[in-house]
Amino acid sequence: MTSTHASPAASARHLNPWIVVWLCFAVLSIVMSARQVVSIMTDDWTKTLGWSKTFISSGQSVALVMVAIVAPIAGNLADRYGARLMLAAGLLIVAAGLLLFAAYPVAALYIVGYGLVGGVGFATANMHLISTAIAKLFTEQRGLATGIANSGATAGQFITVPLVTAGLAYVSWQWSIIAVATVCIVMAVVIWIALKPAAGSTAEARTALAEPQEALWGRLKFLLTNPTFHILYWSFFICGVTTTGAIETHFLPYAAFCGFPPVPASGVYGGIMAINLGGMFLAGWLTDKVNRPLLLGTIYIVRSFSFLVLMNVGVSYEMLFVFAVIYGIFDYSTVPPTASLAASHLGLKIMGLAMGLISGGHALGGALGSFMGGYLFDLFARYTEMWWAAFATAVIAGLMVYFVKEDRPKRGLILAPAV
């Protein structure tokens, strides 16, 4: 394996940088499992608590809005205080929100616990912070490391969510949530201990950190007047429309609309998450090897064609599976090249703030796509218009990214440590 050219702070630790990658993978797996408890337990809650699905989904919407609001704040704090503190804090906040609701399962505390408190945690221990930490830890193989670490987000849906679902067969939903919260607490302790600076490295780490000296407004002004930031932001906003909004919210209802039974449809959705793992690894590896704007733009363009397949599924299970393969490969695969471009074009010192804003854009796009899908279905009694909208916006995102100029940093250049 070639050298990772780890940062000075990382070199001071007795911890292999690739162990940090897999720890980040585990963090995202756990956090995404916590985010998915609502979709897993909706039926139980409607039966035992008497809540409508509209109300239950409103908790998800609140959490998504909180992610959009808090992600830039968490990213800015990570630039100053490091990923170790923010990841541990995010995991503990998620646990606190889940335990609050599990202990007192009333409607108001569901919104407060899962939506508001949990949303802050989801925004703090999130892909944008993981991407920033990995970018500051690696120069070579940065894309591959970013892809592996962030693929934990799909592992959370493909591996750990079924475990939580299976647990419901043996214990109540409250104990299942308590179990997830407990795992979050344990992982926070692991992160705090594992990423602790080695003895005697504090002064060196602080020197290497070179946290941004400019005022927050100065950093925001730089980003808001930077064309590359706007391209990355709005393309990731569209990414949210076509992933969180379109597929994560409306794929299973669309499959039911087409006449597919729940079990096969869920199997296909699980297949999408499994293929996502490979897609993230591949995109990360390619990010280190090829022209990144060309790669990212092509991912968006090819993703757009998957929606043409989806709107022509009919009652063909085979066509549904073809969609799953195409979409799965090009779903989360936007993350490694986006993070890599943010690192090289916007700077490592403010990457937390930049990726926080970009991640917030993704959340807002997801909220818009989720609403748009429901609105268009109510208007036309079909999903065709939603899939056309997803197709068109994905093409626009791809064309936008092609305008970014490739500008890789020099080998061995590192500006700040990861944690």
DSSP-derived secondary structure for 324-341 = HHHHHHTSGGGHHHHHHH
Q: 48-53: long-range contacts (C-beta < 8 A, 24 or more apart)?
A: 48/173, 49/105, 49/107, 51/107, 51/110
Per-residue pLDDT reduced to its tens digit, 96-151: 999 998 888 888 999 999 989 999 999 898 888 888 888 878 877 888 888 888 88
Those residues with Cβ within 8 angstroms of residue 163's Cβ, 6 or more apart along the chain or in another chain: none
In a domain, 247, yes or no: yes
* Dist. CA 107–CA 311, nearest whole Å: 37
**Cα separations (Å) of 354 from 78, 85, 326, 344, 366?**
11, 19, 29, 12, 19
Residue 257's CB is within 10 A of a number of other CB atoms, namely 13
* Dist. CA 240–CA 358, nearest whole Å: 10
Furthest-apart CA atoms within the chain: distance in Å:
65
Scored b (16 or more CB within 10 A) or e, 166-201 reads: ebeeeeebeebbbbbbebbbebbeebbeebebeeeb
In a domain, 139, yes or no: yes
Residue 90 sits in a domain whose CATH number is 1.20.1250.20
| Contact in structure between 297 and 402 (CB atoms under 8 Å) | yes
Burial label, 205 (beta-carbon count in 10 A; 0-12, 13-18, 19+): buried
Which uninterrupted H or E stretch holds 275? helix 262-287
Spacing of C-alpha 295 from chain mean position: 19
Number of domains in the chain: 1
Q: Helix, strand, or coil here: 150?
A: helix
Instruction: Count the alpha carbons within 13 Å of 39 in the hemisphere toward its beta carbon.
Output: 16
**In degrees rounded to 5, what are phi and psi of residue 200?**
85, 0
In a domain, 410, yes or no: no
In a domain, 418, yes or no: no
- The predicted pLDDT at position 121 comes to 93
The token duo for 82 is 């490091």
In a domain, 310, yes or no: yes
- Low-confidence residues of the chain: pLDDT under 50: 1-13, 200-210, 411-419
- The predicted pLDDT at position 410 comes to 53
* Dist. CA 296–CA 288, nearest whole Å: 12
In the chain the first and final C-alpha atoms are separated, in Å, by 23
Domain of residue 360 covers 8-401
Spacing of C-alpha 61 from chain mean position: 16
Total-model pTM:
0.78
In a domain, 358, yes or no: yes
- The predicted pLDDT at position 3 comes to 40
Q: At what angle do helices 351-380 and 227-240 cross, to 10 degrees?
A: 40
- The predicted pLDDT at position 141 comes to 83
**Cα separations (Å) of 166 from 40, 162, 361?**
10, 6, 34
| Contact in structure between 373 and 246 (CB atoms under 8 Å) | yes
Residue 71's CB is within 10 A of a number of other CB atoms, namely 30
**In degrees rounded to 5, what are phi and psi of residue 203?**
-65, -45
- The predicted pLDDT at position 190 comes to 92
In a domain, 388, yes or no: yes
In a domain, 239, yes or no: yes
Q: Is the dihedral of CA 165, 170, 176, 182 positive or negative?
A: negative
